[in-house]
Amino acid sequence: MIYTRTRRRPIKRLLDLALVSAGLLACAALLPERAGLSIAQATAPSWSYTGFLNTPRNGHTATLLPNGKVLVAGGNGDGTFLNSAELYDPATGTWSYTGSLNTARRYHTATLLPNGKVLVTGGLGTNGAHSYLTLNTAELYDPATGTWSVTGNLNRSRQFQTATLLPNSKVLVAGGFDTKGINSYLTLNTAELYDPATGTWSGTGSLNVARGLHTATLLPNGKVLVAGGNNTNGINSPLTLNSAELYDPATGRWSATGSLNVARSSYTATLLPNGTVLVTGGNGNGDLLNGAELYDPATETWDGTGNLNTSRDFHTATLLQNSNVLVVGGFRGDYDFGIYSAELYDFATGTWTNADNVDNGGEHTATLLLNGQVLIAGGFNDGSGNSAILYNSGNSSVPNPIDDSQFFIRQQYLDFLNREPDQGGSDYWTSQITECGTNQQCIHDRRIAVSAAFFIEQEFQDTGYFVYRFYKASLGRQPNYAEFTSDRSKVIGGDDLETRKQAFVAEWTQRPGFLQQYPLSMSAEDFVNKLFDTAQLMSSTTERKQEMDALNDNIKTRSQVLRDVVEMQEFETREYNGAFVRMQYFGYLRRDPDTGGESFWLDVLNNRLPQDGSGYRSMVCAFITSTEYQLRFGTVITRSNQDCTP
């Protein structure tokens, strides 16, 4: 949940929105022109071609970005390991190159972080022609700049590992293979955690069984289920596993759980809406599998479900918006024989039906787009290997995903708290909207109130607003979007919040920009006076004297004095509205504000509406019904600023 008060604090009765002038809706600096309402129609499940990749590739990764585009990176193309990356734009159906990876790689992982960046880890690289090397390098893609930057190296080189984003915003990497020599691999049981705040890796508990080509699934209870895979000391003598284990982020330890009924590797695992995990196909000690099983976290047991119509491995499985699962492509046990068929798993009946043939065989990627379509890209096929196709599930309407209450709540966590929601918090806040039933006015009002709460509540005040105030207090200016998102990721709510705060303050006071204004040669009196003056705390004579004495007597450090200023109630209260307005741009629109729009809304909050919360709700309404916000998640526009009128 939003840590501290959230579950105990009821949603207050919503006051009527006080849009007292047409200017609130006519702020051209903030909002694009109103677009007409539209719902994309589809009558039956279907496949369609879309733009081809610029570079043929297989063994790559595909990541859905917050702006709805898809980032494809690395892989193998015509026998050459690739460092190129491309972006797919669903609005145009075309691909465009973006910045290249620093290291060409295949069989790596790609994980979308809460700050919007993409973490790529490990994989298989090359030292030259026919000389392969397992990688320990990692890098970050920044969608804002379209560039990659190196981050901390893994503690162990690995390929065919898994990477799982945990609720605490760290990334768990587990297992995989490391090269021992030509065509020989060492299976790994080690696991490690990536901390986006520091860009570093730290060891965590080791798997009970070394494995690669396994799966890892984040369960609703916050634990990670790892199952199956291969354990081998030579690529030609694999032992396929049926064992499974659970990682508990709270303890950093692994514990055994129920074993698969059938040992399998290079298969898929999909979390279903009811919390169970569906595994499909794979390879069992050289035998291709068509079986499927369901894992129940409540009982920690596996039960069989309907079999696939076609045995396959190295395929993909995608959970559709209608709760069914689309399985595509794969191999028939040999890289020379791809499978060019697709199947649908019916969540309600546990049965499979064929879903036509496709162009893409094994080692393609499948990505659920915000509009509900599935993008299948690259892979081994009979053609050039750069084909891309779209699957449309045939829902009667494809709304914008941001209209879904659970999706909407998850975005509030990502946009304001910089983390994935915990199950309790997600359930609580979602219920505040869904209890409205079909009452559209109630839904509208609750979405505004709930969204505003993510700024107002204690977790954001102790994290995002905490970071924001350092810019105003010591530098006399607001942060821009790039600065804020970088620093925001260093202070995340949780049990170690105070430790993160202290580390952030200590690092802040060593920054060149800070030392330029507050050199170490400054006397205690000059340091404190300049700090208080920059923060515009002119009336705090007593506090100034206390901080000077504490600094002179070595009772406090410069970092502690700075934090005292940042946390002074007078300063917090004065900066509150400015931070609230700027966070509308940083959170909802993920960009820097335009001057006119920001000034307009600050004037609204400070001067033009009563200080009873109506101004805040008016502003939040305008942002979450804006075309720009809705286009982050899909091409269907279902709301407009006219919804904000009384």
Q: What is the pLDDT of residues 191-204, one digit of tens each?
A: 999 999 899 999 99
Per-residue pLDDT at 14: 25
In this predicted model, what pLDDT tens digit does every residue of 573-592 receive, in sequence order? 999 999 999 999 999 998 99
Contact 530, 516 (CB under 8 A): no
Which neighbouring-strand residues pair with 255?
246
Per-residue pLDDT at 381: 66
Contact 491, 197 (CB under 8 A): yes
In this predicted model, what pLDDT tens digit does every residue of 383-420 receive, in sequence order? 557 889 999 887 534 467 789 898 899 889 989 998 88
CA angle 527, 528, 534 (to 5 degrees): 90
Q: How confident is the model at residue 5 (pLDDT cuts 50, 70, 90)?
A: very low
Q: Which CATH architecture has domain 154-259?
A: 6 Propeller (2.120)
3-state secondary structure 546-585: HHHHHHHCCCCCHHHHHHHHHCCHHHHHHHHHHHHHHHHH
In this predicted model, what pLDDT tens digit does every residue of 10-63 receive, in sequence order? 222 222 322 222 233 333 333 333 223 333 344 467 888 889 999 999 999 999
The CA distance from 432 to 4, in Å, is 18
Fold matches, 43-56+266-398 and 154-259: yes
Per-residue pLDDT at 617: 86
> Environment class of residue 565 by beta-carbon count within 10 Å: exposed (0-12), middle (13-18) or buried (19+)?
buried
Kindly tell me if the per-residue pLDDT of 181 is higher than 70.
no
Per-residue pLDDT at 520: 95
Contact 173, 188 (CB under 8 A): no
Looking at every residue in the chain, the average pLDDT score rounds to 86
The residue among 141, 137, 61 whose CA lies nearest residue 100 is 141
Per-residue pLDDT at 182: 57
Global confidence as pTM: 0.70
Which range has the worst mean pLDDT, 39-43, 361-365, 618-622? 39-43
Higher pLDDT: 376 or 636? It is 376
Which neighbouring-strand residues pair with 253?
248
Per-residue pLDDT at 13: 26
The residue among 612, 635, 622 whose CA lies nearest residue 584 is 622
3-state secondary structure 226-294: EECCEECCCCCCCEECCCEEEEECCCCEEEEECCCCCCCECCEEEECCCCCEEEECCEECCEECCCEEE
Q: Please report, for the chain, the start and end positions of each structural domain, with discontinuous segments joined by +.
A: 22-35+402-644, 43-56+266-398, 154-259
In this predicted model, what pLDDT tens digit does every residue of 298-352 receive, in sequence order? 999 999 999 999 999 999 999 998 889 999 999 876 555 678 889 999 988 999 9
Kindly tell me if the per-residue pLDDT of 97 is higher than 70.
yes
> Among all chains, which residue has been given the structure tokens 């105990």?
8
Long-range contacts of the stretch 165-168 (C-beta < 8 A, 24+): 165/111, 165/112, 165/113, 165/114, 165/218, 165/420, 166/193, 166/218, 166/222, 166/224, 166/249, 166/420, 167/218, 167/222, 167/249, 167/419, 167/420, 167/421, 167/422, 168/249, 168/419, 168/492, 168/494
**Chain Cα centroid distance, residue 421:** 11
Kindly tell me if the per-residue pLDDT of 180 is higher than 70.
no
Q: How confident is the model at residue 273 (pLDDT cuts 50, 70, 90)?
A: confident
The DSSP 8-state label assigned to residue 475 in this structure reads I
Helices and strands (DSSP H and E) totals, the chain: 15, 38
Q: How confident is the model at residue 611 (pLDDT cuts 50, 70, 90)?
A: low
CA angle 268, 270, 276 (to 5 degrees): 130
Entry field: residues in the chain: 646
Percent of the chain with pLDDT over 70: 87
Q: At what angle do helices 614-624 and 569-583 cross, to 10 degrees?
A: 30
The alpha-carbon radius of gyration of the chain (Å, integer) is 26
The residue among 641, 583, 395, 492 whose CA lies nearest residue 170 is 492
Higher pLDDT: 345 or 129? It is 345
Q: Where are the alpha helices (DSSP H) in 457-568?
A: 458-462, 464-470, 481-488, 497-508, 512-517, 524-534, 541-552, 558-566
Q: How confident is the model at residue 621 (pLDDT cuts 50, 70, 90)?
A: very high
Kindly tell me if the per-residue pLDDT of 243 is higher than 90.
yes
Percent of the chain with pLDDT over 90: 65
Q: Which CATH architecture has domain 43-56+266-398?
A: 6 Propeller (2.120)
